[in-house]
Amino acid sequence: MANSSSAYRRILLRIGIAGVVVFAGLQFVRPELKNPEVTNELQAPPEVKDILRSACYDCHSNETKLAWFDQVVPAYWLVVRDVKTARQHLNFSELGAQPAAKQRAMLYEAINQVQLGAMPLAAYRRMHPEAHVSESELAVLRHYLETSTPQPEVSAAEVSAAEKQFSDWVAAGPASAKPPAAPNGIEFPADYRNWTPISSTDRFDNQSLRVILGNDTALKAIAENHINPWPDGSILAKVAWTQQKDGQGMVRTGAFQHVEFMIRDSRKYASTKGWGWARWRGTGLKPYGDRPSFSDECVGCHEPVQGNDYVYTAPIRGQR
């Protein structure tokens, strides 16, 4: 009895020592994480940058500062992976190289990710409570964009370009040539223009007007209030136009920019959250993206509304 229990203890001890040795040894398996030079930092006022610096820069910049507990393997491996992916998506140390409009669009996306609770990553927030963006900090970020986003009048050239686009479209007649499929193989849903409007948006972040349309399956789902998850066969379309202002407060749809789709098929599109994503641009309906994985960008920005089946729009009740 006594004998076997001390043998048991000895085995435990050996396993314990082996564990410590392996743990210590693993500490030397360290993928490299460099802080490259900061070349083109985002251009924004200091109060805005301060907030981003304390909440986001550990992952989204070349100024990553790891806490001691982040440096311990295996946590370190996860952190390195997060930082590398995060920098690919958004790097505040390099964003400044982009045109002002692109920087601004990224800031809108960043604020929305914060507002919807998607960023900073939840796992990081638990270990770094100081990285939480407070309501008042969020207000500072919002105020900055609200007051700095230009709302330009429309030039005469833009107006006549939109008029020409309209007359060319009318001359071409309805549904002319079928456009090429999107890089992920999705075919253009040609009948979209006859679907039913379920909402609309007026975007002051990028000066566009949009209408959101649903096909019959989507409309039935709305009527029955079964929109999470949306049933297979539902298709949502969003059409975007530039804003054409008349200088007296009326804003009409100007040039057609693009139409994009979310096509529900939970099996076929399982790898992209159950939706097929596709976008066609300009009246020439040029497919957007140059490889099948272009839809990572769509999914990434729709990720914060994951809990709503990746859909942003709240359809107006009472459709059909």
Partner 1 sequence: MRLRNRFATVFTAVAAVLLSGCTAPNPLIATHLNETAAFGGGVKLNPLQGKVITSWVDRRTAAMSTLTGNETAVRYARAGGGPAYPAGSTLSLATWGQVEDGRWFGARIPGAPRSVEIVTVSQDANGQRLYSYQKYEGAPLKRVVSREAGPADERLQFLISQRASVLP
Interacting residues toward ligand HEC by CB under 6 A: 55-56, 58-60, 82, 85-86, 89-90, 109-110, 113-114, 119-121, 124, 131, 133, 201, 203, 210, 212, 236-238, 260-262, 277-279, 288, 297-298, 300-303, 311-313
Q: Taking CB under 8 A as the rule, which mask of x and - marks residues 54-93 in contact with partner 1?
A: ----------------------------------------
Q: Choosing among partner 1, ligand HEC, none, which partner's interface includes residue 48 (Cβ < 5 to 8 Å by kind)? A: none
Q: How far is the C-alpha of 268 from the C-alpha of 262, rounded, in Å?
A: 13
CB 168 within 8 A of CB 283: yes
Helix (H) or strand (E) holding 293: none
- Residue with nearest beta carbon to ligand HEC: 300
Among 80, 235, 236, 285, binds partner 1 (CB under 8 A): 285
* Contact flag: residue 123 with partner 1 (CB under 8 A): yes
Q: Choosing among ligand HEC, partner 1, none, which partner's interface includes residue 214 (Cβ < 5 to 8 Å by kind)? A: none
What is the phi/psi pair of residue 203, to 5°? -100, 110
Q: CA 137, 143, 148 angle in degrees (round to 5)? A: 135
Q: Which is nearer to ligand HEC, 245 or 302 (CB)?
A: 302
CA dihedral 64, 69, 71, 73 (to 10 degrees): -140
* Contact flag: residue 213 with partner 1 (CB under 8 A): yes
Question: In this structure, how many other beta carbons lie within 10 angstroms of the beta carbon of residue 100?
Answer: 11
Residue type at 108 in one-letter notation: Y
Helix (H) or strand (E) holding 136: helix 135-148
Q: Choosing among ligand HEC, partner 1, none, which partner's interface includes residue 211 (Cβ < 5 to 8 Å by kind)? A: partner 1
